[in-house]
Chain A
């Protein structure tokens, strides 16, 4: 499994299974703002020697409607590897959470996603690199089963987990230490190019 976040979500989409979604974005009670730290171009290092030095460019571009467009392009390859997503960001203490949803590209289809967005936590490390974390699926399932958060587990092992809490309840949960602890799966490290 490729460890590039947006590409990962796109790969899930192609496979018909998805990472945990939320029907409401995280941060409605705090307020969204385009995080200027993201703006520009980043590169994700190849995670496998098999990639032959190939990597992904992540272009983050602010949009006039308050969201951010992210264009993920392979350094070399086919158009099927191009991924596009729209996201909103919210600050959560020292970290940030982005709410991401794939959008259709010139050669890609984003239909079939569950309604809502994928919550991703990100932070800068001491070297200025951007680290991304996704919620641990097992931990999200446990939280839903324990009724710590409202959601649907899906009919089988491949269906998406969808957190259905209202915006206020979602923020209260994800902004708690227990909620933030769900983001335990580091997916990718990006290095700023310009």
Chain B
């Protein structure tokens, strides 16, 4: 899970948590259409990160590729080669919000060759000023939803195991579009401002 540890470090707030973000075995959005959101393409900078020095931030480079979008996250300063993160993403739109299905790919400084088996469903919203706020599903809320039978999945064997949502595409989309699904996304972990 080192890769996810790096991702969390990059994605800021959850770095203080011992938990990892929930994943889904199917991408969110199969029933509404998985498309590359053109509004994402380009370079963005993340907002202030409480875990980094003042003035340090992450660059988010969203690049088109044959399968959707490749996002490369690079620290502005103070980072090391091992801090570079890359993920393949597909996006789906649900009215006022979108969901990115992010699959981490091995970083340049890794011996890993295979991408992670599941994707992380990241909710995003665009505000009136064009900024994008990213949210990860809350680990505990996701486990509770699984245990309550609201969505199919594996809550993990103990409090620190990762939650994996195994619902099929239609059930997953129905859940994410519902208030109960959106309630999983409680805290933003990054606010992105477009640079170019």
Which residues of chain A have a CB within 8 Å of any CB of chain B? 39-41, 53, 57, 59, 61-64, 67-69, 71, 73-82, 84, 103, 105-107, 193-194
Known: A57-B61, A76-B196, A103-B108. A69 touches B70 (CB 8 A): no
Q: How close is A146's CB to chain B, nearest CB, in angstroms?
A: 39
15 other A-B residue contacts (CB within 8 Å) besides A41-B76, A53-B196, A194-B55: A57-B59, A59-B59, A61-B81, A61-B83, A63-B109, A73-B61, A74-B61, A79-B70, A82-B61, A82-B63, A84-B108, A106-B105, A193-B76, A194-B76, A194-B77
Q: How far is the CA of A84 from the CA of B108 in the complex (A)?
A: 8
Closest to A59 in B: B74
- Which residue on B lies nearest to A76, using beta carbons? B42
Total A-B residue contacts, Cβ distance less than 8 Å: 87
Residues on the B chain within 8 Å of A40, using CB? 76-77
Q: Given A39-B77, A103-B108, does the pair A73, B82 have CB atoms closer than 8 Å?
A: no
Which of A57, A71, A79 has a CB less than 8 Å from the CB of B43? A57
Q: Are A41 and B77 in contact (CB under 8 A)?
A: yes
B70-97 contacts to A, CB under 8 A, are 70, 72, 74-77, 79-84, 86, 88
A79: B residues at CB distance < 8 A: 63-65, 70
- Cβ < 8 Å to A, chain B residues 25-76: 41-43, 55, 59, 61, 63-65, 70, 72, 74-76
List of B residues within 8 angstroms of A57 by Cβ: 43, 59, 61, 74
Shortest distance between the CB of B195 and any CB in chain A (Å): 8
B80 touches A63 (CB 8 A): yes
Closest to A81 in B: B63
Interface size class of B (residues with CB under 8 A): 20 to 34
Query: B residues touching A (Cβ–Cβ < 8 Å)?
Result: 41-43, 55, 59, 61, 63-65, 70, 72, 74-77, 79-84, 86, 88, 105, 108-109, 195-196
How far is B83's CA from A39's CA once the two chains are assembled, in angstroms? 14
| B84 near A71: Cβ-Cβ < 8 Å | yes
Write the chain B residue with the least CB distance to A60. B81
10 tightest CB-CB pairs across the interface, nearest first?
A69-B81, A63-B81, A79-B65, A79-B70, A79-B63, A61-B81, A59-B74, A76-B42, A73-B61, A75-B196
In the assembly, what is the distance between CA of A93 and CA of B42, in Å?
39
Instruction: Contact check, A75 vs B63: say whether CB atoms are below 8 A apart.
Output: no
A74 touches B63 (CB 8 A): yes
B83 smallest CB distance to A (angstroms): 7
Chain A residues near B59 (CB-CB < 8 A): 41, 57, 59, 73
A61 to B58, CA, bound (A): 13
Distance, CA A68 to CA B61, complexed state (A): 20
Chain B minimum-CB-distance residue to A193? B76
Contact indicator B64/A61 (Cβ below 8 Å): no
A69 and B64 in contact, given A39-B77, A76-B196 (Cβ under 8 angstroms): no
In the complex, the answer to whether A106 meets B74 with C-beta atoms within 8 Å is: no
Query: B72 — which chain A residues lie within 8 A by C-beta?
Result: 71, 73, 82, 106
B82 touches A78 (CB 8 A): no
26 contacts between A and B (CB under 8 A): A39-B77, A40-B76, A53-B196, A57-B43, A59-B74, A59-B84, A61-B79, A61-B81, A61-B83, A64-B81, A64-B82, A67-B81, A68-B81, A69-B84, A71-B74, A71-B84, A71-B108, A73-B43, A73-B59, A73-B61, A74-B63, A75-B43, A75-B196, A105-B108, A106-B72, A106-B88
